Amino acid sequence: MRIRNRLLLLVLALFLPTFIASALVVSYVYREEQKAQERTVAETARAFALLVDSELRNRESILRTMASSPSLEDSIRARDFSLFYAFARKMAPTADTAIILIEPDGRQVFNTRAAFGDPVPTQRSSNLAQLMDRYGADNTLVSDMFFAPVGRRYDFNIQVPVKVDRQIRYFLMMGVHTAQLQSLFQAQSFPSRWIGSIVDRTGTIVARTRDPQSNVGRVLRESSRQQLASRREGVYRSVSLDGIPVKAFYSHVPNADWKVLISIPEAEVRRVALRAAALLGAVMLLLLALAVIAARRFASGVIRPIEDLGRTAEILGQGQEVSYTPQGLAEADTVGYTMVNASRQIQRAKTELEQRVAEAVSAFERAQSALLQSQKLEALGRLTGGIAHEFNNLLQTLATALQLAEITSDRQRVQSLIETCKKTVDRATALTSQLGAFGRIQDARLVTTSVDERIGSFVQLVQNVLPSNIALEVDCAPGLWQVTVDPLQFELALLNIALNAKDAMPEGGRLRVQAGNHALTHPLNTLPAGDYVRIAVSDTGFGMPPEVLAKALDPFFTTKGVGKGTGLGLPQAYGFATQSRGTLLLHSTPGAGTTVEIYLPRGTHPVSAMAELPDAEPAAIGAGRGMTVLLVEDDPLVREAVLPALEAAGFRLLVAGSGDAALAMLESGAHPRPDVVFSDIVMPGRISGIDLAKIVSERYPGIRVVLSTGYTDKRIDIPGVQLLAKPYEIGKAVKLLSQ
C-alpha cells in the first residue's frame, strides 16, 4: 500500500474517534438545549399563571373592600342602593368593568353597565350558580367565560359574598371583559413564535397572544382538555388551533382554577440545537478535508516523523512527560510539540489532582474529628449535667439535715436527721456505684460464678416487677461456661434491661432471656476472638428510632417523662459489660422491638482480691486494741473523720499523706512496724496505693494491706490485698482491719 494511502488511513483513524465523540457531544448538547428550553418555558408558564392569579386577586380585593364598606351597610338598611351604585361606578378599575350587586336567588339589584333603575337581567349569565354548589357560597368564585347580555361581549365574573349579621344577604360581582387580560401578554413580551393562551375550566380560550379576535371563545380540542384536566401543570405535544405542531406547557391559576397555556412550535424547539449540530458537523467535515489534502501533499518523506510521533505517543500514553526532536516537517513538529505540551499539562493535572485528593482527605478527616469531638462534648455535657443534678439534690438534703441538727436540741429529732443523712449517703453510694460502671475499671467484687444462678436470681427479682400481661421466657443452654463478674452488677444490668423492656410494652408482650456459649472465631467490635457467654434479652415493644438508638447508651439520656427515668439503666448495663472485659450490643427496629446482647468472657479462676464484706455493724470499742495501723490518706478531711473513729476502736495509728511518705516511714525504722497498712489508691506523688501494696507485699510480707478507693482505672489483683470501697461504714473498716 502506498504511503499516501497509509497516511490517509492514519488520518481517518485518528479523526474517527473524534467524529464519534463529536456526534455524542452534539447529541448531548441537543438534548440539554431542549431540556433547558423546556425548563425555561415551564417556569415562564408558572410565573405567568401567578401573574394572572395576582390580577384576579387584585380585583377580588376591590370587591372585598366594597363588600365591607359602610355605604353598602347603610344602603342595605335603607333599601336604597343609589348612593352605593355611584360608589361602585367609581371603584370599577376600568370603564368597561361592571360592578353588579345580586341577590341570592340570582336577581340583579343594579349593574354599573346600565343606568341605575334600568332593567337588568333577572338571572345569571355565568356558571357561578354551579360553582357555588361545588365550592360553597362563602368563597370567592371566578366564573368561566360567557357572553354578557348587557355589554354584548365576552366577560367573566368575580364574586364575593356580602354578609349581614354573619348571614349572606347579597353577592357582589365584578364583570371583567376578557380583553383586559390581553394586556398581561403584552407586558410579558413573549417571543413572536410562542402562542400564549388563558383557558377556563371548560377549555375555552379567554385570552390569546396570536389572533385573539378569531380565537377567544373557541374551545380546545378534546385531547387538550383531557390533558389540562388531568394535572395542575405539565407539558404535552399537540396541534394548535392554527394547525401548527406544538409542544404545549401549562400551569394552574390557583384562584380561578384556570390554566395558562404556552405553546412553542416543534420546529422552534429543534431549531437552535439543529443549527449547532450543523455548524459543528460542517467544521468537522472541513477539518477532515484539510487533513486528507495535507496527507496527500506531504505523504513523501513522512515515514520517519510518523514513527517518531508513534514512539512519542506511546510514551504519552504511559503517562510520562515526553520530549520531541524537530523533524523539519511542520505538521509533524506541530503534533510533536502538542504532545509535549499535553504531557506537561497531564503531569500538572495529575499533580494537582493528587494534591486536591490529599486536601480533600485531610479536610474529611478534620471534619470527622470535629464531629466526633462534638459528639463527645455533647455526651460529656449530658453526663456532667446529670451528675450535677443528682448530687446537688443529695448535697441539698445533707446540708439541710446538718443545719437542722445544729440548731435542734431534741435528741430524737437529731437521731432522725442522722438517719436522713445516712439514707442520703447510701443513695450517693448507689449513684457513684452506677457511675463507676461507666469507667474502664469499677471497684466491684469480682467472682467466678454460674450464669444459670445469676439468671435464676434475676428471674426471682423481675417476676415481682413485670405485670401479668408480659410473658417472661428463659432459655439457658446446658453446660454454660462460668464468668468472672460482679454478681450484683450482673443482676442489676439484667434488671435494668428488663425494666426498659417493660416500659416499651405498655400494652403487654413477651420478654425473652437467652443464654448460650459462643466461640468467636473473628473479632467482634472491640472483642478479640475467644470463648464468651452470650446473654440476649429481647422484647416485643415499640423499639427505638435511629436517633434514639444512637444515644441510648449515653448516661442520663432518657426519653421518659420527668421523674420516670434517670437515664442510667442501659449505660449501667453497658458499663458492667465493658468493665467485665466483654461488650454490649444494642439492636432495635421501630415497631419490632429491641434486643440487647451481652458478651462476657469465659471465666478461668476467681479473683481473690475482691473479698465479700459483712453487712455494716457499729464499730466495736476495743476491737483493734494492741494493733498498729498505718493510715495513708492524702485528703485531710477524710483523715480528720477516719482517724478518731479508728482510735475509738482501739487502734494505734501512724499517719502518712502520700504513698511516698508511707514508704519512707516504713524504711526509716523510726516508727513501730504496723500490723496493717490502710491506704487510699489514688494519691499524688510517684507511688499510688496499688504500688504501695505491691512493695509492702514483697518487702514486708508480715504486714497486711487494705486498700480503699472511690474509683480507679487499674485492676487490683495482688494476693492477700483486700479492697474497701468508699464510702464505707466504719464498722466494716474496723472488722476488716482487725481480722
Question: Could you report the per-residue pLDDT of 723-732, keeping only the tens digit for each?
Answer: 887 777 888 8
Residue 314 confidence (pLDDT): 77
Grid cell at residue 268: 422552534
pLDDT at 337 over 80: no
Say how far apart CA 43 and CA 190 lie, in whole Å: 13
Return the higher-pLDDT residue of 455 and 362.
455
Task: Report pLDDT for 440.
Answer: 43
Q: What's the confidence (pLDDT) of residue 596?
A: 94
pTM: 0.40
For position 531, what pLDDT does the model report? 94
> Which residue intervals of 318-329 are DSSP H helices?
none
Looking at residue 212, what DSSP letter applies?
Answer: H
Give the pLDDT confidence score for residue 377 in this predicted structure: 46
% of the chain at pLDDT higher than 70: 81
Nearest to 677 by CA among 708, 650, 649: 708
Q: How high is the mean pLDDT of the chain?
A: 81
User: Is 70 exceeded by the pLDDT of residue 555?
Assistant: yes
**pLDDT for 1:** 55
Distance from C-alpha of 519 to C-alpha of 463, rounded to nearest angstrom: 31
Using one digit for the tens of pLDDT, what is the confidence trace for 118-133?
Answer: 888 777 788 888 999 8
Three-class SS of residue 302? coil
Query: In this predicted structure, what is the pLDDT of residue 190?
Result: 84
Task: Report pLDDT for 613.
Answer: 42
All structural domains of the chain, each given as residue ranges with its CATH number in brackets, are 26-290 (3.30.450.20), 304-436 (no CATH), 444-601 (3.30.565.10), 628-737 (3.40.50.2300)
Of the pLDDT bands very low, low, confident and very high (cuts 50, 70, 90), residue 443 is very low
User: What is residue 369's predicted lDDT score, i.e. its pLDDT?
Assistant: 54
Q: Report whether 621 contacts 649 (CB < 8 A).
A: yes
Would you say residue 378 has pLDDT above 80? no
Q: 101 versus 8: which is more confidently predicted?
A: 101
Comparing 104 with 392, the larger pLDDT belongs to 104
pLDDT at 79: 86
Q: Tell me which of 175-184, 367-376, 637-646 is least confident.
A: 367-376
Q: Mean pLDDT over residues 468-486, rounded?
A: 91
Residue 655 CA to residue 661 CA, distance in Å, equals 9
Q: Per residue in 300-329, pLDDT tens?
A: 555 667 667 677 777 777 767 777 777 676
CB atoms within 10 A of CB 534: 19
Q: Which residue has the cell 408558572?
A: 46
The neighbouring-strand residues paired with 155 are 146, 177
- Statement: residue 571 has pLDDT above 80: yes
Long-range contacts of 183-186 (CB under 8 A, 24+ apart): 184/48, 184/51, 184/52, 184/55, 185/209
Mean pLDDT value across residues 214-229? 90
> Under DSSP, is residue 192 helix (H, G, I), strand (E, B) or coil?
coil
- The rounded distance, in Å, linking the Cα atoms of 445 and 450 is 15
Flag whether pLDDT at 295 surpasses 70. no
Nearest Cα neighbor of 59 from 150, 155, 163 is 155
Res 616: pLDDT:
45
Strands (E), 602-693: 628-632, 652-656, 676-680
Element (H, E) at 708: strand 704-709
Q: What is the pLDDT of residue 276?
A: 67
ω before 606 within 30° of 0 (cis)? no
Span 387-416, pLDDT tens digits: 565 666 667 677 676 766 777 777 777 787
Task: Find the mean pLDDT for residues 583-609.
Answer: 84
Pairwise CA distance, residues 83 & 96, whole Å: 20
Q: Residue 448 — φ and ψ, nearest 5°?
A: -80, 115
Instruction: Encode 36-67: b = buried (16+ Cβ within 10 Å), e = exposed.
Output: ebeeebbebbbebbebbbebbbebbebbeebb
Burial of 281 (C-beta count, 10 Å sphere; 0-12/13-18/19+):
middle
Query: What is the total residue count of the chain?
Result: 739
